Structure 1
Amino acid sequence: MPRRLLSLVMLLIAGTAAAAESRHTVLLLGRAAGEQTLSLEDGEYRAEYKYSDRGRGEALVATWRLDDSGLPVDYRVEGHDYMKTAVDERFGTGDGVAHWRSGSGRGSAPLGPRAFYVPEYAPPELTAVLARALLKAPGRRIPLLPSGEARLEDAGELSLEFDGTSRRIHQYRISGLGFAPVPVWLDEHGDTVAIVTGWLSAIAPGWEPAYERLLSEQRAADEAAAAQLARRLTHRRGADLLIRDVRLFDPRDLSVTPASSVLVHGERIVRVAPGGDITPPPGVEIVEGRGRFLMPGLWDNHQHFSDSTGILDLISGVTTARDLANDNEALMARVERIDAGLELGPRVLRAGIIDGPGPFAGPTPMLAEDATRAIEIVDWYADHGYGQIKIYSSLDPSLVGVVADRAHARGLRVSGHVPAGMSARQFVAAGADELQHINFLVLDLLSDRVTETRNMNRFTEVAAHARAYPPDHPQVRELLDILRRHGTVLDPTLNIYESMFGADSAAPPPALAKVVGRFPPQVARQQKSRALEVPEGEEAAYAQALPALMALLRAAHEAGIPIVAGTDSLAGYSLQHELELYARAGIAPSEVLRIATLAPAEVMGRTDDLGALAPGRYADMLLIDGDPSRDIGDIRRIDAVFKGGDRYDPAELERALGITPSVDAAGAR
Structure 2
Amino acid sequence: MKLHLLAAGLLLCTGHASAAEQVERSEILTMGAKAGFQEARYADDGSIKVHYEFNDRGRGPKMDAEYRVGADGSVARIANTGIDYFKGPVDETFSRDGSKVSWKNSAEDASQELTKPSFYLSLNGTPEEFVLLTRALLKSDSKSLDILPAGSARVEKLSELKVKGKPGAKKVTLYAIHGLDTTPSYLWLDEQQRFFASYSSWQSVVRDGYADALSGLGKVQDAQEKQQAEQRATSLTEILAKPLLIRNVRTFDPASGTITTDAAVLIDKGRIVAAGKAADVGAPAGADTMDGGGRFLMPGLWDMHAHFFGQADGVLDIAGGVTTIRDLANNPPVLAERIKSIEANKDIGPRIIKAGIIDGPGPFAGPTKALADNEADAQRIVDEYAASGHEQIKIYSSIKPELMPAIARMAHAKGLRVSGHVPAFMTARQFVDNGADEIQHINMLMLNFLFDKVQDTRSPARFTAIGEYGAGIDLGSPQVLEFVQHLKQKDIVVDPTVSTFEDMFLGRPKLPGPGWAAILDRLPLTWQRGIKSGAGGLPIKPGQEAAYRDGYQRMIDYVGLLYRSGVRIVSGTDGSGGLQLARELELYVAAGIPPKDVLRIATYDSAAVMKRDKEYGRIAPGYVADLILVDGDPTLNMADIRKVRTVIRGDRRYDSAKLFTAIGIKPSP
Query: TM-score band, normalised by the shorter chain?
Result: over 0.9
Q: Quick one: which of 146, 170, 173 aligns to 2:173?
A: 170
**Cα deviations across residues 622-655 of structure 1 (Å, max 9, x unaligned)?**
1111110111111011111111142111110111
**Cα deviations across residues 91-114 of structure 1 (Å, max 9, x unaligned)?**
111142112222222233322222
* Partners of 2:426 and 2:455 within 8 A in 1: yes
* Partners of 1:238 and 1:285 within 8 A in 2: no
Give the match's secondary structure for 1:397: coil
* Partners of 1:393 and 1:417 within 8 A in 2: yes
Number of the residue aligned with 1:551: 557
**Cα deviations across residues 340-375 of structure 1 (Å, max 9, x unaligned)?**
111111000010000111111111110111111111
* Partners of 1:196 and 1:202 within 8 A in 2: yes
Give the match's secondary structure for 1:168: strand
Shift of 1:507: 4.6
TM-score of the superposition, structure 2-length normalised? 0.95
Counterpart of 1:437 in structure 2: which amino acid?
A: H
Pair 1:532-2:538 in alignment: yes
**Cα deviations across residues 50-81 of structure 1 (Å, max 9, x unaligned)?**
00000101111111111111011111211111
Number of the residue aligned with 1:340: 344
**Cα deviations across residues 323-356 of structure 1 (Å, max 9, x unaligned)?**
1001111111111111111111100001000011
Aligned partners of 1:569 and 1:164: how far apart in 2? 40
Residues 390, 622 of structure 1: alpha-carbon distance in 2 compared, 3 angstrom cutoff: same
* Partners of 1:415 and 1:435 within 8 A in 2: yes
**Cα deviations across residues 380-431 of structure 1 (Å, max 9, x unaligned)?**
0000000100000011111211111111111110100000111111110111
Query: Mapping of 1:342-421 within 5 angstroms?
Result: 342-421=346-425
Number of the residue aligned with 2:27: 25
Query: Mapping of 1:420-431 within 5 angstroms?
Result: 420-431=424-435
Number of the residue aligned with 1:197: 200
Q: Quick one: which of 505, 509, 516 aligns to 1:501?
A: 505
* Partners of 2:523 and 2:666 within 8 A in 1: yes
Aligned partners of 1:531 and 1:474: how far apart in 2? 33
Number of the residue aligned with 1:72: 75
Shift of 1:161: 1.4
Aligned partners of 1:467 and 1:80: how far apart in 2? 27
Pair 1:329-2:333 in alignment: yes
Number of the residue aligned with 2:220: 217
* Partners of 1:91 and 1:98 within 8 A in 2: yes
Pair 1:575-2:566 in alignment: no
* Partners of 1:510 and 1:529 within 8 A in 2: no
Pair 1:85-2:88 in alignment: yes
**Cα deviations across residues 153-172 of structure 1 (Å, max 9, x unaligned)?**
11100011133743211011
Give the match's secondary structure for 2:444: helix
Give the match's secondary structure for 1:138: coil
Shift of 1:6: 4.6
Give the match's secondary structure for 1:287: strand
Give the match's secondary structure for 1:493: coil
Residues 215, 396 of structure 1: alpha-carbon distance in 2 compared, 3 angstrom cutoff: same
Pair 1:610-2:616 in alignment: yes
Aligned partners of 2:112 and 2:524: how far apart in 1? 19
Aligned partners of 1:529 and 1:292: how far apart in 2? 38
Shift of 1:529: 5.3
Residues 195, 452 of structure 1: alpha-carbon distance in 2 compared, 3 angstrom cutoff: same
Pair 1:542-2:548 in alignment: yes
Q: Quick one: which of 433, 455, 459 aligns to 1:455?
A: 459
Aligned partners of 1:67 and 1:125: how far apart in 2? 16
Q: Quick one: which of 515, 518, 528 aligns to 1:514?
A: 518
Q: Quick one: which of 158, 162, 165 aligns to 1:159?
A: 162
* Partners of 2:58 and 2:458 within 8 A in 1: yes
Pair 1:181-2:181 in alignment: no
TM-score of the superposition, structure 1-length normalised? 0.95
Gaps of 5+ in 2: 1-12
Pair 1:149-2:186 in alignment: no
Counterpart of 1:429 in structure 2: which amino acid?
A: D
Shift of 1:587: 0.8
Gaps of 5+ in 1: 663-668
Residues 274, 367 of structure 1: alpha-carbon distance in 2 compared, 3 angstrom cutoff: farther
Aligned partners of 1:335 and 1:560: how far apart in 2? 34
Counterpart of 1:623 in structure 2: which amino acid?
A: L
Residues 509, 334 of structure 1: alpha-carbon distance in 2 compared, 3 angstrom cutoff: farther
Aligned partners of 2:348 and 2:292: how far apart in 1? 25
Q: Quick one: which of 62, 67, 78 aligns to 2:65?
A: 62
Give the match's secondary structure for 1:596: helix
* Partners of 1:7 and 1:189 within 8 A in 2: no
Counterpart of 2:78 in structure 1: which amino acid?
A: Y
Aligned partners of 1:570 and 1:7: how far apart in 2? 42
Counterpart of 1:422 in structure 2: which amino acid?
A: M
**Cα deviations across residues 564-584 of structure 1 (Å, max 9, x unaligned)?**
011112331111111011111
* Partners of 1:325 and 1:353 within 8 A in 2: yes
Counterpart of 1:40 in structure 2: which amino acid?
A: Y
Q: Quick one: which of 619, 636, 640 aligns to 2:642?
A: 636
Query: Where in structure 1 do 4 or more consecutive aligned residues deviate above 4 Å?
Result: 505-509
Pair 1:102-2:111 in alignment: no
RMSD: 1.7
Number of the residue aligned with 1:625: 631
Number of the residue aligned with 1:46: 49
Counterpart of 1:578 in structure 2: which amino acid?
A: E
Number of the residue aligned with 1:438: 442
Number of the residue aligned with 2:606: 600
Counterpart of 2:117 in structure 1: which amino acid?
A: R
